[in-house]
Copies of this chain bind each other. A is one copy, B any other.
Amino acid sequence: MKLLVVGSVALDSIHTPFGDVTDALGGSAVYFSTAASLLTQVRVVGVVGDDYPMAELKKLEGRGVDLSGVEQARGESFRWKGKYSFDLSSRETLETRLGVFADFKPKLPAGYGDTPYVLLGNIHPDLQLSVLDQMKGPRMVACDTMNYWIDSAKDRLMEVLKRVNLLIINDEEIRQLSGDWNVHRAARWVLGQGPQRVVVKRGEHGALLVEKDRSFFCPAYPLEEVFDPTGAGDAFAGGFLGYIARSSDTSNAGLRRAMVYGAAMGSFAVSQFGVGGFEGVTPAVLQERVGRFKDLTHFDMAEAVA
């Protein structure tokens, strides 16, 4: 079934120890839809400036992504410039120019309101709420956020949480949001604010799915070469929600599988600059990667010691 993402479409300039790239396609909605399009039909709502390389963006249409919700406004596109440390463990934002993204008001094209699965990317909580107001009974809504909104618009963010089924967030963000450094306790706190499920992304370590009475942990794929971590979390979300939309399975078993698809997508994202890591990733390549997670995580218990 179809999957809607509302988020940033940007141009990223990235410095890593392995090289540099300038004004490459980026933004959460681009990473998300590149990954999710391997699994289901994706609709993107976003905004770009009149300087955006539309021919590059339109390559997503070749992946079945519907870009009719991407508005092109007069002005400069959203640009982000960052630099990673030698071991990719931390990054510094060198420059953020919001451009036309600063005045983004998501307007859903006709028919988009019926999309059954939705990711509210990390835009202002008021904009997330305005998207929710335009939806007609979606089956599952997930939302992301970031430190900036937790700092500046927490009360509005709490309103969003009341109206979504799932929060997908990284470990630093959930600590900040909950005021609790223990991520398991923090996730439990989030479950009391509205969402029935929380996914905590833990970077190179993996990701955690927390529900009322159960948790599931999926490690990151063990990569000996990591090139550019940008977008890994968005690609994870794309794989996760892409699989849910494809299968229409929101059971615990379905979400566990979706976590593994998310982790596989994250591993592709970090293997090249920008979305380059998805070049050559066919459904067969994806399936092969997903299959490897079983060997990475499964064990069989022999006789008990008690």
Contacts and interface: CB of A to CB of B under 8 A. Distances in A.
B296 A298 contact: no
Closest 3 CB pairs of A and B: A283-B306, A87-B181, A256-B299
A257 interface: yes
24 contacts: A39-B305, A87-B182, A182-B224, A184-B222, A184-B223, A184-B224, A202-B205, A206-B217, A206-B219, A215-B296, A216-B297, A217-B297, A256-B298, A256-B299, A283-B305, A284-B306, A286-B305, A286-B306, A287-B306, A290-B301, A290-B305, A293-B299, A294-B301, A297-B297
A297 B188 CA distance: 19
Contact of A185 (B89, B214, B224): B224
A192 B302 CA distance: 31
Given A219-B217, A222-B215, A222-B217, A298 B297 contact: yes
Given A208-B222, A306-B286, A296 B188 contact: no
> For A188, A243, A295, A299, which residue has the most chain B Cβ atoms within 10 angstroms?
A299
> For A39, A208, A215, A282, which residue has the most chain B Cβ atoms within 10 angstroms?
A215
Interface residues of A, number: 56
Contacts of A259: 299
A22 interface: no
Task: Determine how many copies of this chain the complex contains.
Answer: 2
A198 interface: no
A290 B282 CA distance: 37
> For A208, A304, A305, which residue has the most chain B Cβ atoms within 10 angstroms?
A305
Interface of A: 38-39, 86-89, 181-182, 184-185, 188, 202, 205-206, 208, 214-219, 222-226, 243, 246-247, 249, 253-254, 256-257, 259-260, 282-284, 286-287, 290-291, 293-302, 304-306
A191 to B, nearest CB: 12
A96 to B, nearest CB: 27
A243 B305 CA distance: 9
A279 B236 CA distance: 41
Contacts of A223: 182, 184
